Structure 1
Amino acid sequence: MDGAAAPAPLYTDIADAPVGGIALWRTCADGVRVRVALWPCEGAKGTVLLFPGRTEYIEKYGPAAGELAERGYAMACIDWRGQGLADRPLADPARGHVGRFAEYQFDVAELVAAARAAGLPEPFHLIAHSMGGSIGLRALQEGLPVRSAVFSAPMWGIKIHVAARPLAWAVGTGARMARRGHLYAPSTGPVTYVLANDAPGNVLTTDPDMYAFMQRQLRAHPELALGGPTLHWLLEALRETRALAGRVPPALPCLCVMGGNERVVDTGRIRSVMARWPGGRLELIPGAEHEVMMETPATRQRFYDSAAALFDAEG
């Protein structure tokens, strides 16, 4: 496949994004079709490659495109394979699944190619959230052409109680051997998190307006929603995060931002990786939950100001 692009839907009715954004289909080297969105910025100092997390979709980061444009940066974002409007591998589209985590690197290649083909200005910089942080760290180690990187609660480990970790590995491996890897992981199901849970007590954000924003998006376009991961996805995620943890972080300017009330990813693994990152900095935001880019206005401003300061310094 040559990765040639064709126009794709961009739901501007829910994106709360700057005008001028476009979406494209890109066909990856292994034949999987993903969706890419590009937001140019007049006089841009560079372009941010935004790597979303699991269950996420391009329109969720429409506000991020606006925040970055205000600070002088274009943005390129993607629907990873298996979520958003990208190809989903299973007959039940609600199941979050991937064959191997390495396959996400095909998607990364298409995002970079699309940004370059559209003439978005370099240097490129990275913002990666949650699962996107796992994909992003692997991409950096494989030569992603960016000058600097900002991570938001990266999935460099999954928050599983220490007593349950051996069981998680056993369940995942056993399911794969028994050809049951397409089953939902324990405690998950077909309804996506933000529609299955009310705002009070949620693990994503303390801002009820942003939580309502996400709910409105998925109610308006339910085809964007994704349920829980499969057992096979969980096993692959555990393998990938363990492999990444054993590697030396790249010598690239890096900022990692994490909420003080993080309850989704392994905070110990984040601290361990950042402690070994040459010149890397870990910034903790007291009281914030998992999605700092979907947090209160003050937290969002703090995040984007810090990210832009790093990008400006490395531009």
Structure 2
Amino acid sequence: MFYSSEASLVSNLPNINQFFSEQLQQDFLSTAHGKLFYGYAIPQQAKTAIVISSGRIESLIKYKELLWELYQNGFAVFSVDHQGQGRSYRHLKNAHKGYVNRFTDYADDFAVFIEKVVQQRWQGKQILLGHSMGSAIAYDYLSRYQHQFAGAFLSAPMFDIYTKGTPKPVAKLAAKIASLLGLGRSYAFGQRDYLPVDFAANELTSSEIRYKLFRELYAAEDDLQLGGVTYGWLNASFDFIASLVDKKVDIPLFIASAEQDTVVDNTAQFALSHRQKAQLKTYAGARHELLCERDEIRQAVLSDFYQFCAEL
């Protein structure tokens, strides 16, 4: 397998950008609530399609390196910007506010993308690759919809939220009360519009070059930017998390857990892996964004992903 490396990333950018502009087909998909931005590319000898469900504040544009890399390895790739993310439709006048009416709305949109885009262009083996919030969306989709996925690889899945200094019961209660009081569309305490954080202070990745390129992309295209979460988003997410205990998925699952994650609560990943008999692996020294981490971590994750795909 070919692995993209930090050392060659800058020199490969022209090839990556050429792939993105020439091979990756990009368009908008109409749903009942708004338009979703998506992209796909299918190499000639592809035997497997990877469908990516990205995380909060993410866009398929952020995954240029990964999409190109998977394509080089002979995989068909499909990805969509979830509602409220990237180039897809946003709910509020202030587009920086992270908001969703019901968390299950994400998977309902995702199902439209699968039906109208993926299934129309691919009939072979399909594997779902999710990250963070996108993993939670993927799990919700798999538990509620008929599908043709052979397995799902979930990177740092958001099966619970890491609430840092705030006790979780307090965070849940605050989100519930604020939503009941009509403040669901207001920023949660401490949240604000998009503000890039210096690499030294970031909690997402220990790869300086990948972090730098991510921030440069978002600086160049304002429409990709997303700020903090609203009380409504938090309340919807906590309600969804509470429902996970009743959701079952009947295909093989691999849960990739980041040891130093301060975005999602890893405890919930272990609990769900036991309920589902899912395979779980913790990556030492890893921060939240396993697919954008430094090479030694990222390549270990992708190596396990490729093995998982081959075994299905």
TM-score (norm 2): 0.90
CA deviation profile, 1:55-83 (whole Å, cap 9, x unmatched): 11110111111222233211111111111
Say if 1:14 and 1:180 are closer, same or farther in 2 by CA, change over 3 A: farther
Aligned-partner SS, 1:77: strand
The answer (yes or no) to whether the contact 1:261–1:288 under 8 Å persists in 2 is yes
State the match for 2:252 in structure 1: 253
Sequence identity of aligned pairs in percent? 24
> Which residue in 2 is equivalent to 1:217?
217
Which residue matches 2:269? 270
- Alpha carbons of structure 1 residues 124 and 304: separation in structure 2 relative to 1, 3 Å: same
Structure 1 residue 80 and structure 2 residue 82: aligned?
A: yes
**8 Å contact from structure 1 (residues 156, 265) kept in 2:** yes
> Which aligned pairs between 1:151-166 and structure 2 lie closer than 5 A?
151-161=154-164, 164-166=167-169
Q: CA deviation at 1:130?
A: 0.4
Q: For the aligned residues, what is the CA RMSD?
A: 1.9
Determine the structure 2 residue equivalent to 1:238. Answer: 238
**Contact 1:53/1:129 (CA < 8 Å) preserved in 2?**
yes
May I ask how many residue pairs the two structures share in their alignment?
296
- Residue 295 of structure 1: aligned partner: 293
One of 177, 182, 185 as aligned partner of 1:179:
182
Amino acid at match of 1:289: R
Q: C-alpha separation between the residues in 2 aligned to 1:274 and 1:16? A: 37
The structure richer in helix per residue is 2
Matched, 1:311 2:284: no
**CA displacement at 1:17 relative to structure 2:** 7.0
Secondary structure of 1:124's counterpart equals strand
Alignment correspondent of 1:66: 68
Mapped contact 1:15–1:61 kept (Cα < 8 A): no
Judge conservation of contact 1:68–1:304 (CA < 8 Å) in 2: no
C-alpha separation between the residues in 2 aligned to 1:31 and 1:248? 25
SS in 1 for 2:276: coil
State the alpha-carbon separation in 2 of the partners of residues 50 and 16 from structure 1.
19
Separation of aligned partners in 2, 1:68 and 1:14: 14
Matched with 1:281 is 279
Unaligned runs of 5+ in 1: 1-11
Q: Which residue of 1 aligns with 2:171?
A: 168
Query: Take 2:207 and 2:298, find their aligned partners in 1: how far apart are those partners?
Result: 11
In 2, are the aligned partners of 1:46 and 1:124 still within 8 Å (CA)?
yes
Contact 1:45 1:121 in 2 (8 A): no
- Tell me the TM-score normalised to structure 1 length: 0.89
SS at match of 1:276: helix
Matched residue, 2:152:
149
Among candidates 22, 25, 30, match of residue 22 of structure 1:
25
Cα distance between partner residues in 2 of 1:52 and 1:45? 22
Partners of 1:15 and 1:241 in 2: how far apart?
36
Query: What is the CA–CA distance in structure 2 between the aligned matches of 1:270 and 1:308, rounded to whole Å?
Result: 21
CA contact (8 A) 2:38 2:79 kept: yes
Task: Name the CA distance, whole Å, in 2 between partners of 1:125 and 1:17.
Answer: 25
Q: CA deviation at 1:144?
A: 3.4
Query: 1:34 is matched with which residue?
Result: 36
Q: Which consecutive segments of 4 or more residues in structure 1 shift more than 4 A?
A: 12-17
